[in-house]
Amino acid sequence: MMLTRHLRRALSDLAPRQDPVANRTLKLLERKKVTTLDIGILKRKQKPITMVTAYDYPSAVHVDLAGFDVLLIGDSVGMVELGMDTTIPVTLDDIIYHSKAVCRGAKRPLLVADMPFDSCEGHRFEALKNAQRLLKEGGVDCVKIEGGVERAETIKTLVDGGIAVMGHVGLRPQAISVLGGFRAQGRTAKQAEQIIEDALAVQKAGAFAVVVECVPSVVAKALTEILDIPTIGIGSGQHTSGQVLVFHDLLGMLQHPHHAQHVPKFCKKYADVGERIRQGLEAYREDVEHARFPNDDYSPYKMSKDEQAKLAALVDTKYAKQADEAEEVFVSEVSKVY
């Protein structure tokens, strides 16, 4: 709240000048907190739901100010920020850690955290305890669970326990061992029927919305028409109640070959932030190497001439011999190596 308060105060100073960016941002700051009820209302009003996946405080601040409805702290953090090849190694503690950071930066979006791989196994009340940790320690509003019919009982347990749940059908990254990799799902009528049955089971269990990942557009369209709850598409065409993409992917942030292998082909790149970051870092490195930074403009802390004279005398009388001895030791050690 402190960040929001400071931003509102700073931007209000600009408002009288009719600054369009300041006015637009002020409007966003005044928006009320998004709830699961709001998400349902957006579907009924046929207004597309906007959702993005992010994992840290700076990203959350950007998402907040951009006016998104939903922010997901996804287990994709393993691949995007931790350099893993899949989401499987991500732990509940990882999600809690990143959720805490996101919650400090984003106040208005509905905050959803992934239940990572193995956090829904065992007795269904174990899943309830894990979800409770995400809300109590992570600070999120609700959780997302991958799976359909086989997860319905778990979802119902969480909802009965007072925790809102978003479902996830179609491609389920936590199940790639069974699915044979990151592959599109629902390409046959039989497969599509199973996805529909999964989504209906999730809805019946009490989920307030469901992510539909990597299915043909026609399947996503059928799901959206059949279900009462909103569908959030990712790689599933335009006929869903809303869309979600990963922050780093849509902004073109990561240029490293490792990450390039995992950027999905359905993701539109809205900016080339990664290239700008690389250029900035290279410019800084070159300035340091050529003694162009820092110059006087970036050396703001001064000492009076009198104090400078005192310091020079102190160095000459007290530290000169010590510096000479250190130099002799350094030269001796270097000569041994070279």
Q: Annotated catalytic sites, by residue?
A: 213
Give dist(CA 266, CA 243) in Å, integer: 12
SS3 166: strand
Burial degree of 3 (CB within 10 A; 0-12, 13-18, 19+)? middle
According to DSSP, residue 14 is labeled H
Give dist(CA 158, CA 212) in Å, integer: 21
For the chain, the residue count is 338
- In whole angstroms, how far apart are CA 315 and each of 6, 31, 323? 45, 59, 9
> If you write DSSP's letter for every residue of 21-81 in order, what string do you get?
HHHHHHHHHTSPPP-HHHHHHHHHTTPPEEEEE--SHHHHHHHHHHT-SEEEE-TTHHHHT
Runs of H (alpha helix) within 161-188: 176-179
Give dist(CA 305, CA 81) in Å, integer: 49
Place of tokens 């799976």: 147
Contact 262, 248 (CB under 8 A): no
Number of H helices, E strands in the chain: 16, 8
Contact 191, 211 (CB under 8 A): no
Question: Would you give the distance in Å from CA 113 to the centre of its chain?
Answer: 10
Give dist(CA 180, CA 320) in Å, integer: 69
